[in-house]
């Protein structure tokens, strides 16, 4: 059974449908990029998967996946960028859902945070203040926090927004490494269709409804890709 199945899914705000007729499923270990123009429904769908927005129609079915087993990296706000905490404290906050009412982190929580910081190359800045970091470093910290929440599914909302090309490429490579090495499923919203077809296994293209869903190879050959990407490319 698929890890996530969206069946006849629609969403509405104030009675007005903003996203409709969404049907797709992904297996464990997939890397799905959700693409589309601004306002096409990408963030609404992600909010639905997170349980923050109830569908007006249809259902989202999870197989062996609890809401507490989803790691989430949201788009950064100015408040998040200025958060006055150390790197290790931000990463460790990703363990809150697994603490099940415990008031304090235990050795397992701290070990998970330390391991993820090391994997993403930020263990040497663990004691630095988060707000003092560069944009690329901050995004690594937030990815490590999301990884602390789960090894099953990561939801990433525009994780390279505001990063320079070098930092963005490093971030994409780190995400792909986590996907391949841990068999962690990734659902990522991206405005960069070229990066999506380079890294993802599957593409979901939205335009207030489902314009395309399939493998990256199928997308490359589609008329939609020729229009938005300019033809098959690596």
Residue owning tokens 């909302």: 157
Residue owning tokens 């982190």: 105
Average pLDDT estimate for 137-145: 93
* Maximum distance among all Cα pairs of the chain, rounded to whole angstroms: 54
Residue (of 4, 31, 28, 26) closest to 174 by Cα position: 31
Average pLDDT estimate for 229-234: 58
pLDDT for 230 beyond 80? no
Determine the Cα–Cα distance for residues 195 and 126; give it in Å rounded to an integer.
30
pLDDT score at 101:
64
**Sequence spans of domains, the chain:** 78-151
Task: Say what the pTM is.
Answer: 0.90
pLDDT score at 33:
98
């Amino acid at each position: 059974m698929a890890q996530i199945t969206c069946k006849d899914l629609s969403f509405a705000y104030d009675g007005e449908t903003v996203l409709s007729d969404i049907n797709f499923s992904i297996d464990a270990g997939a890397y799905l990029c959700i693409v589309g123009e601004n306002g096409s429904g990408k963030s609404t769908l992600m909010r639905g998967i997170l349980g923050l927005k109830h569908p007006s129609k249809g259902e989202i079915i999870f197989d062996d996946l609890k809401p507490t087993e989803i790691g989430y990296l949201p788009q950064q706000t100015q408040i998040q960028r200025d958060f006055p905490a150390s790197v290790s404290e931000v990463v460790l906050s990703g363990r809150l859902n697994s603490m099940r009412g415990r008031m304090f982190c235990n050795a397992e929580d701290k070990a998970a945070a330390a391991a993820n910081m090391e994997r993403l190359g930020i263990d040497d800045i663990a004691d630095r203040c988060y707000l003092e970091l560069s944009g690329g470093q901050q995004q690594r910290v937030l990815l490590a926090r999301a990884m602390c929440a789960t090894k099953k599914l990561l939801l990433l909302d525009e994780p390279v927004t505001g990063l320079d090309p070098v930092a963005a490429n490093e971030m994409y490579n780190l995400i792909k490494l986590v996907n391949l090495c841990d068999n962690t499923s990734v659902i990522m919203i991206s405005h960069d269709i070229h990066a999506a077809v380079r890294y993802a296994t599957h593409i979901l293209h939205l335009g207030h409804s489902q314009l395309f869903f399939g493998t990256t190879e199928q997308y490359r050959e589609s008329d939609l890709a020729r229009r938005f990407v300019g033809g098959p490319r690596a």
